[in-house]
Structure 1
C-alpha cells in the first residue's frame, strides 16, 4: 500500500479543479456562443470579448490540468499565465464597464472566481511540481 504525500494530493486536487473548471467553461461558453437564441438571450448583456476569452481559455484550463496530473513544469507556468491573462481580460472588462458598456453583474463574480481559482492553482503548482 502506497501512501500519497499531502503535496501530491494538493496537486491532484488542483489538476482536477482545472480540468472540471475548463470543461464547464467550454460547455457554458459554447452554449451561449453557438447555442439557440434562447441560450443567447439567457446570457443577457454578455460582453463578447469576455465570452470568447473565457470559452477559448477553457481549452487551456484542461490542458493545464492534464499537465499538472503529469507533473510537468510547463503546466505550472501555464497556470500563472492563465491567472495573468484572466487579470488582463478582467481589467479590459472593467474598462468596458467604466466606458458605459452594457454588462451582466454575474460576469464580475465569474471573473473574480476565475482569477482566484487560477491564482490558487498556480501557487499549488509551483509549490508541488518538481523543477526538473
Structure 2
C-alpha cells in the first residue's frame, strides 16, 4: 500500500498539510527564524509513537473486556547534542487508573502493541532504544 503526503510551504519556516481531513501546520521556533505558528517536526515523532501504541492498547483492552477509568501515554525522548540532532532513546510510560485492573491483561495489551501491532514502534526500534514502564493506580 502506497501512501503520500503533500507539504506546502506557506512562507518563512512554516509549512501546511492536510491529513485525514485535518489541517496540520509545522513551524520553527522564533529563535531559529520561525513564527511559532505550528508544531515542530521532531516532537511529532513522539506523538506518532504515543498515538499508535495508545490506540492499540485501548483496542486490545476493549477486546479483553478490561474497562479503565483513565489512560495516559507519556513518551520521553533523549535528543543527541551533535548534528544531525535526533532522538537516540525513547521511554514510554503507560499510566492506567481504575478499580481492580488486571495487571496481567494490561501487560499483555502493552506487549502486543509493542511487539506485534504498533508500526511506529517497529520502525523506531530499528533506530533507537525504546524502553517501557507501566503504572497502575486504583
Q: Give the greater-gyration-radius structure (CA).
A: 2
Q: What band does the TM-score fall into relative to the shorter chain? A: 0.3 to 0.5
More helix by share: 1
More strand by share: 2
Q: TM-score, normalised by structure 2?
A: 0.31
Structure number with higher relative contact order (C-alpha < 8 Å, ≥ 6 residues apart) = 1
